[in-house]
Structure 1
Amino acid sequence: MKNTITFLFCLVGTVAFSKENKTNQHRIITLNGAITEMVCALGHQDKIVATDVTSTFPKSLNAKDLGHVRTLSIESVMALKPTLILATEKDMNPDLAAKLKASGVKTHIFKQVFSIQGTKDLIKEVATVLGEKNYVALQSSIDKKVKTAKGIPSKPKVLFIYARGAGMLMVAGKNTPVDNMIALAGGQNAVTGFDDFKPLTPEALLANNPDYILFFDKGLQSVGGVEGALKIEGLAKTKAGKNKNIIAMDGALLSGFGPRVGEGVVELNQLLSGNAQ
């Protein structure tokens, strides 16, 4: 009798654990905007309970914003009782990465390659983790969209400025996501002398003499819009300044390389085609 009771207790406990685990598998935390978009595009938006600050799309996403992954604490992540954490190596604090992997929660930290093929590969990797087999259509939609971008024979020189107010201005060099996007859209990065980002100087503006100045939407707003940008020292003397070729795009669309990357290529292509010299 005692053995029977013990067996039934264990059986009930196992069933209860299985039910709890089945429910918990719907608690996903995404710590990268592109990853968040991919999870949503693959049909799992309702399972996301929290994201990082770069996850701004889709607008219908209803999840807790944990802030920037660089300053994220393991405690704030674990407090939400996730069963799956998805992130990328970019901006990930090594200490946080180690703690996430040691937490016992299923964690995947992907290497993101900022190219069309890299995006398609990442979609497949995310889909595989989610157990989602229907991802090919999402990959194909990127190729179809990119093919609609028009060639620009003049290959205009584009200078991207990362701005957080007039006192914080950085320019994108080679081997940056924006550098890759400019090339995909039919332009060329006006900066060729260095990789990553460096502070903007009047000398650099005049030396590179871009045809277009490109900002994130919020970055352009932070400097006072087009008229504010033209007040940046040296900018008004460039070709872009003289022609008021100051353009801006949504940050995630321009540099996120998520499933909307094809839309980003086409939008930038249209901006560069509309006023191409």
Structure 2
Amino acid sequence: MSIRLFSRRQFGLSALATGVTSAAARSARAGEKRSVQIEDCRGRRVTLGSMQRIVSIGGTITETLYALGAADRIIGVDITSTYPVSALREKRSVGYMRQLSSEGILSLKPDLVLAMNDSGPANAIDQVMESSTPIVMVDATPSLDGVRNRMLTLSRIIGEEEKGAAMVVRFDNQLRTLRAWTELHPKKARVLFVMRVVNGRPMAAGTGTAADAIIALAGATNAGADMKGYKALEREALIALKPDVILMMSQGGQAMRDALLADEAVMLTPAGQKKAIIDMEGEKLLGFGPRTAEAALELAQQIVSHTQPA
């Protein structure tokens, strides 16, 4: 039997609400030894079996599987799987999602590997694809439709379609709360996301990044919007961006905050003068998973708090 999972198109919820369960759902829940074919985001046809020993590569996938009640099926995760915190503590680690080893993944003897489409390196992913272990590549687009589609795609794979539909409804309700907040606070602050400091130069986010997408969702303007991807900023370029707020991941810790505040160029920006630096947990901020609407609202509220007159 063949079932197509559309990764780049929003699924309709009406069919899910009817209670019609796919063959994939039935076999996944029952652990039947039958084959079901799906099509992943790369257009590959993948044959799935029992799906009781899953390796999850990508914090967004892990978080979604936990929310769908499938934690007991996960045997391995990558180190971006920081939420829930029990994932890295209880499951075997396969390393960082962009520095994978096929041997490390396959040694866990999974019956399914679920991986974000930007996982790598390519040769490691290719080696898993060439093995007898099915691997499904999951669309990594940092967008609202991407969040919804990942919820529905993963819920269909593991046979929890009703839970997936409920997650989407909850997500859309959170988005309505976010939009109400941003409408009440229409001023668009200029926010610069700094991934890290490299040789004394801030590595900042431009367009085409998850940081750019979450800043827009929070109702702000990406100060680095004229750049593409990530770029290490020279002193003059940083000053010219005039960010009102600098955003960073909390994983950078106090050391990164101190490095930014010690940067003379940063201190010549509105953000530096106000010491307006926001830090948030990286996977929540950039993962575009179930907590994205919550993260965007938290960011929007912190931006207002850091930019309102004293």
- Give the TM-score normalised by the residue count of structure 1: 0.87
- The alignment's C-alpha RMSD in Å is 2.2
Q: 1:86 aligns with which of 111, 114, 118?
A: 114
SS of 2:252 mapped into structure 1: helix
Q: 1:30 aligns with which of 42, 56, 77?
A: 56
Identity %: 34
Equivalent residues of 2:190, 2:245 under 8 A apart:
yes
SS of 1:58 mapped into structure 2: coil
- 2:57 and 2:201 map into 1 onto residues whose CA distance is 25
> 1:14-93 residue pairs with structure 2 within 5 A?
25-61=51-87, 62-93=90-121
The residue aligned with 2:235 is: 202
- 1:275 and 1:194 map into 2 onto residues whose CA distance is 24
Change (3 A) 1:82 1:168: farther
- 2:224 and 2:198 map into 1 onto residues whose CA distance is 21
The residue aligned with 2:263 is: 232
SS of 1:112 mapped into structure 2: coil
Equivalent residues of 1:210, 1:239 under 8 A apart:
yes
1:167 deviates by: 4.4
- 1:25 and 1:137 map into 2 onto residues whose CA distance is 22
- 1:108 and 1:254 map into 2 onto residues whose CA distance is 24
Equivalent residue letter for 1:128: R
The residue aligned with 1:250 is: 281
Q: 1:113 aligns with which of 137, 141, 145?
A: 141
1:245 deviates by: 0.8
- Give the TM-score normalised by the residue count of structure 2: 0.78
SS of 1:53 mapped into structure 2: coil
SS of 1:140 mapped into structure 2: helix
SS of 2:231 mapped into structure 1: strand
Matched, 1:143 2:176: no
Q: 2:298 aligns with which of 258, 267, 272?
A: 267
Change (3 A) 1:235 1:167: closer
Equivalent residue letter for 1:259: P
Equivalent residues of 2:201, 2:234 under 8 A apart:
no
- 1:123 and 1:164 map into 2 onto residues whose CA distance is 34
- 1:148 and 1:83 map into 2 onto residues whose CA distance is 40
Q: 1:155 aligns with which of 170, 188, 191?
A: 188
- 1:109 and 1:207 map into 2 onto residues whose CA distance is 40
Q: 1:174 aligns with which of 196, 207, 214?
A: 207
Equivalent residues of 2:116, 2:139 under 8 A apart:
yes
Unmatched segments (≥5 aa) in structure 2: 1-30, 35-48
- 2:177 and 2:306 map into 1 onto residues whose CA distance is 18
Unmatched segments (≥5 aa) in structure 1: 1-18
Equivalent residues of 2:58, 2:81 under 8 A apart:
yes
1:242 deviates by: 0.8
| Structure ID, larger Rg | 1
1:24 deviates by: 6.7
Equivalent residue letter for 1:268: L
How many residue pairs are counted as aligned between the two chains?
258
